[in-house]
Chain A
Amino acid sequence: MLEIKNLHASVEGQEILKGLNLTINAGEVHSIMGPNGSGKSTLAQVLAGRDSYEITEGEILFEGKDLLELEPEERACEGIFMAFQYPVEIPGVANTYLLREALNSVRKYRGEEPLKHIEFAKYAKQKMEVMQISDNLLKRAVNEGFSGGEKKRNEIFQMQVLEPKLAILDETDSGLDIDALKVVSDGVNALRSPERGFLVITHYQRLLDYIVPDFVHVLVDGKIVKTGGKELALELEDKGYGWVEEEKTAANS
C-alpha cells in the first residue's frame, strides 16, 4: 500500500532523510526505531505532507498514487492518519466539532453523505468506550488543558473514528504511564486488520510489547540500516543503537 523509494528530505538546507526505502503492505505493522535526530519524526511529517520539508529526491506511492502531489488534507482523505507526537491545542473549538467536520470532509471526498449530528454522536459513542474518552473530554476544546495521557488517547480515538488505511503513530508512547500506554495500545490493536497498515515510530521497545510489530526497522542518520522481526527491538533495547551503528561501520570498512 505504501512504497517509499530513495527518499531524500531536507529542512532549511540540511538533509535529514538520505535515501530511505520502505514498503508497507496492507495488514502489516512496521516499527521504526532509532536514536534522536535520526529522522523518525521527519519521515512521519513528510508522509503527512508537512510543507516545511523539502523533498529533493525519491518518491512515495500510496496505493499507486504519487503521494507527494497531494495536499495534506487529500492525503488524510485518501486514508493516511498521523497520531501527533505533540497534538496542538485549538482553543474554543470543541473536540467533537473538529472530529465531525473532519469525518464529514473525508466522507465527502469519498462521495458519501455527511453524518448528521445524532448519527455522528452514536458512531463516536462506541469508539469513546474503547478509548475511555468521557463526554466531557469530547466537549472540551481540542487538546486544551488535556493531560499528556488524554492527548494521546484522544489521538487514537480520532484514529478510531476516521478509520484510516494507513496509520502513522509518531512516538505515541512518549509521556504515557503504563495504564495509559495500555489503553492506547488496546485502541491501536482493535484497529489492526488485514486491510490496514501501521507505521509505529518509537524510541523505546516498551510500546512494542503491546503493539507487536511484524517488522522492526532501525533508522540511523536518515537511512534504514537494519530490518528484522519483533526480536530486533529486544536486541536494540539490550545493546543500544550504538551496536547497530558499529555493525554498520564494520560492514562498510
Chain B
Amino acid sequence: MSVDLEKLAEQEYKYGFVTDVDQEVAPVGLNKDVIRMISAKKEEPEWLLEWRLKAYEHWLTMKEPTWPNVDYPAIDYQAISYYAAPKNMPKLESLDDLDPEIKEAYDKLGIPLDEQKMLAGVAVDAVFDSVSVITTFKETLAEAGVIFCSISDAVREHPELVKKYLGFVVPSNDNFYAALNTAVFTDGSFVYIPKGVRCPMELSTYFRINAENTGQFERTLIIAEEGSYVSYLEGCTAPKRDENQLHAAVVELIAHKDATIKYSTIQNWYPGDSEGKGGIYNFVTKRGRCLGNNSHISWTQVETGSAITWKYPSCILEGDNSVGEFYSVALTNRKQQADTGTKMIHKGKNTSSTIISKGISAGFGQNTYRGLVEIGKDASGARNYTQCDSMLIGDKCGAHTFPYIEVKNSTAQMEHEASTSKIGEDQIFYCQQRGLSAEDAVSLIVNGFCKDVFKELPFEFAVEAEKLLSISLEGSVG
C-alpha cells in the first residue's frame, strides 16, 4: 500500500515499432565520397557541395565537446551510416504515391498525412530517416505566399533564399555537431513567410528515425520577413533499438523587423530502456536571430525522450526592442540524461528575454539546466527574467543548474529565480485521499509544475504534451 517513489517499473515506449520498407542506405563511415554521394542524391548545386566539404574538413579538426554534464561511451563516427532513404522514392505528386508502409507508420504515430483527416489548420512535413516524404497543404499555403517544403525541395526551387540564409545563423564551423550536420545533413523543413503575412495555419514537421545504425541529420530553416508571423512545431519519435542512434540537427530562425516566430518542440525520441540500453543521442544546435527591430522569437520545448539530450535553443537579439523567449520542460526518467537550456545574447537596445525552465528528474535521470544571458555593451535598457525550477521524484535522480550571466552594460535589469523541490509525499497523499491513484497524483502535480510552459504551446499540442508527460512518468511511482 505504500507509495514507493524509488521503484521504477518498466514502461512501454509507445512509438517503438519498426516499419518494414525497402531502404537505400549509404555504407557506414564518413568521408568525402559519402558527402558527394549525399549531395548527388539530392541533385544539389556545386556551391552546396563545396560548403559541405568545407564543413567536413573543419569538422575533422574539431573535438567533440566534453563540457556537457552527461556521460556516454565514445561515439564511433565511422560506424554510422549517414544516409538512409526509402527505396524507389519518386517525387510524390500526391499522397496516393506514398509507400503505404510509411503512411501507416505515420498513422500509428497519430499523424495522419491525409489532409482530410488532419487537424484543421495544421500543415505537416513528414521526414522519414533522411528524406522528407510528403508535405501537406502546400497549395493552401502557397495562396498566402508561404513556402513550406522540405529543405531539399527548397534547394532546387528557391536556391536564392537557401543560398542567402543557410548558415546565416549557425555557421558551418559553429560547433562539432553543427559542422557534422553541415557536412552530411539530409533533409528537414524550409519555411518562408513573406512580408506582412500571418501564416494561415500551424506548420509542423514530424521526424521519424526508422533505419538501423543510421544517424539523422536534419536541417530546418525558417525565415520570417518584415511584419510576418509563423508558429511552427516539430515532433520526433524513433523505434526501440538496443544500439544508440545519433541525431544531430541544426535549426536556424531568422526574424526580420516586426516579425514573430514561435517554434515549439515535442521531443519524444526513444529514451532507452530502464537499464539505459539504447536510445537516441540528441545533439542539436538551435538558434534564432532577431535581426530587425521589434522582432520576436519564442522557443518552447517539451523534452521527454532521448537517452542523452544536448541542446540550447538560443536567441541573438540584434534589433532594438527585440524579444527572445525560452520555455522548457525537460523530463529525465530511468537513465536518461539531459543538459539543456538556452543562450540569450542581447545586442540591440531595450531588448528583453524571458527564460522559464522546468526540469523534472525521476528514476536515475540526470537533468541539467545550462543557460547564458549576455548583455552586450551597446544593449542599453536590456532586461532578462530567468526562472529555473527543478523537481525531483525519488532520491536516485539529480538536478543541476549552471546559469551564466555576463553583463557589459550597467543599465541592464536582470532577474533570476531558481528553486528545487522534491515532489511531496504530502501532495501525493492529499490527492490520493481525494480519490486519485498515486500515479495520477504524480502526473497531476508534475503537469501543474509545468503549466507555465504548456500554456505557451498551441492548444492541441498542449494537450498532447500533458499526455506525453504522464506516459513518460509512468512507472516513476510503484
Scoring B434, B449, B450 by chain A CB atoms within 10 A of each residue's CB, the highest score goes to B434
A73 in contact with B450 (CB, 8 Å): no
Q: Give every chain A residue within 8 A of B447 (Cβ-Cβ).
A: 92-93
| Nearest CB on A from B429, distance (A) | 6
| Nearest CB on A from B107, distance (A) | 28
Q: Which of B3, B427, B435, B449 contacts A88 (CB 8 A)?
A: B427
Q: Give every chain B residue within 8 A of A109 (Cβ-Cβ).
A: 435
B432 in contact with A49 (CB, 8 Å): yes
Q: What is the CA–CA distance of A185 and B436 in the complex, to the nearest angstrom?
A: 27
Q: What is the CA–CA distance of A250 and B123 in the complex, to the nearest angstrom?
A: 84
B435 in contact with A162 (CB, 8 Å): yes
> From B424, which residue of chain A is reached at the shortest CB distance?
A88
In the complex, whether A7 has a CB less than 8 A from a CB of chain B is no
Q: What sequence of 0s and 1s flags, for each residue 427-469 of chain B, a beta carbon within 8 Å of any chain A beta carbon? A: 1011111111110100011011111100000000000000000
A93 in contact with B445 (CB, 8 Å): yes
Q: What sequence of 0s and 1s flags, for each residue 98-126 of chain A, a beta carbon within 8 Å of any chain B beta carbon? A: 11011101100100000000000000000
Q: Give every chain B residue within 8 A of A81 (Cβ-Cβ).
A: 433
A51 in contact with B444 (CB, 8 Å): no
Interface of chain B residues 139 through 158 with chain A (CB within 8 A): none
| Nearest CB on B from A16, distance (A) | 18
Q: What sequence of 0s and 1s flags, for each residue 64-88 of chain A, a beta carbon within 8 Å of any chain B beta carbon? A: 0000011111011100011010011
Given known contacts A51-B3, A90-B427, is B432 in contact with A72 (CB within 8 Å)? yes
Q: Give every chain B residue within 8 A of A49 (Cβ-Cβ).
A: 1, 432-433
Q: What sequence of 0s and 1s flags, for each residue 407-425 of chain B, a beta carbon within 8 Å of any chain A beta carbon? A: 0000000000000000011
In the complex, whether A141 has a CB less than 8 A from a CB of chain B is yes
In which size bucket is the chain B interface? 20 to 34
Given known contacts A51-B1, A71-B1, A98-B444, is B435 in contact with A92 (CB within 8 Å)? no
| Nearest CB on A from B207, distance (A) | 29
Q: What sequence of 0s and 1s flags, for each residue 211-237 of chain A, a beta carbon within 8 Å of any chain B beta carbon? A: 000000000000000000000000000
B448 in contact with A91 (CB, 8 Å): yes
In the complex, whether A188 has a CB less than 8 A from a CB of chain B is no
Q: What is the CA–CA distance of A51 and B429 in the complex, to the nearest angstrom?
A: 9
Given known contacts A50-B429, A84-B430, A88-B427, is B435 in contact with A76 (CB within 8 Å)? yes
A102 in contact with B436 (CB, 8 Å): yes
In the complex, whether B2 has a CB less than 8 A from a CB of chain A is yes
In the complex, whether B96 has a CB less than 8 A from a CB of chain A is no
Q: Give every chain B residue within 8 A of A72 (Cβ-Cβ).
A: 1, 429, 432-433
> From B431, which residue of chain A is reached at the shortest CB distance?
A98
Q: Which of A70, A71, A88, A103 contacts B430 (CB 8 A)?
A: A88
In the complex, whether A158 has a CB less than 8 A from a CB of chain B is yes
A88 in contact with B440 (CB, 8 Å): no
Q: Give every chain A residue within 8 A of B437 (Cβ-Cβ).
A: 71, 73, 105
Interface of chain A residues 19 through 75 with chain B (CB within 8 A): 48-52, 69-73, 75
Q: Give every chain A residue within 8 A of B436 (Cβ-Cβ).
A: 73, 101-102, 105
Q: Give every chain A residue within 8 A of B160 (Cβ-Cβ).
A: none
| Nearest CB on B from A156, distance (A) | 13
Interface of chain B residues 378 through 435 with chain A (CB within 8 A): 424-427, 429-435
A105 in contact with B429 (CB, 8 Å): no
Q: What is the CA–CA distance of A71 and B429 in the complex, to the nearest angstrom?
A: 10
B445 in contact with A76 (CB, 8 Å): no
> From B3, which residue of chain A is reached at the shortest CB distance?
A51
Q: Which of B433, B450, B452 contacts A76 (CB 8 A)?
A: B433
B444 in contact with A101 (CB, 8 Å): yes
Q: What is the CA–CA distance of A167 and B337 in the complex, to the nearest angstrom?
A: 45
> From B389, which residue of chain A is reached at the shortest CB distance?
A91
| Nearest CB on A from B359, distance (A) | 15
> From B434, which residue of chain A is reached at the shortest CB distance?
A102
Given known contacts A72-B433, A73-B437, A82-B433, is B445 in contact with A51 (CB within 8 Å)? no
| Nearest CB on A from B67, distance (A) | 33
Q: Give every chain B residue within 8 A of A90 (Cβ-Cβ).
A: 427, 430-431, 444-445, 448
Q: Give every chain B residue within 8 A of A76 (Cβ-Cβ).
A: 432-435
Q: Give every chain B residue within 8 A of A71 (Cβ-Cβ).
A: 1, 432, 437-438
Q: Give every chain A residue within 8 A of B3 (Cβ-Cβ).
A: 51
A73 in contact with B444 (CB, 8 Å): no
Q: Give every chain A residue within 8 A of B425 (Cβ-Cβ).
A: 52
B448 in contact with A102 (CB, 8 Å): no
Q: Give every chain B residue within 8 A of A106 (Cβ-Cβ).
A: 435
Q: What is the CA–CA distance of A52 and B424 in the complex, to the nearest angstrom?
A: 13
Q: Give every chain B residue within 8 A of A101 (Cβ-Cβ).
A: 436, 440, 444
A93 in contact with B434 (CB, 8 Å): no
Q: What is the CA–CA distance of A69 and B440 in the complex, to the nearest angstrom?
A: 20
**Which residues of A are at the interface with B, using a C-beta cutoff of 8 A?**
48-52, 69-73, 75-77, 81-82, 84, 87-88, 90-93, 97-99, 101-103, 105-106, 109, 141, 158, 162
**Which residues of B are at the interface with A, using a C-beta cutoff of 8 A?**
1-3, 424-427, 429-438, 440, 444-445, 447-452
* Nearest 3 A/B pairs, CB to CB: A92-B448, A93-B448, A102-B434
* 9 A-B pairs (CB sep. < 8 Å): A49-B433, A71-B438, A72-B429, A73-B435, A90-B430, A90-B444, A93-B445, A101-B436, A162-B435
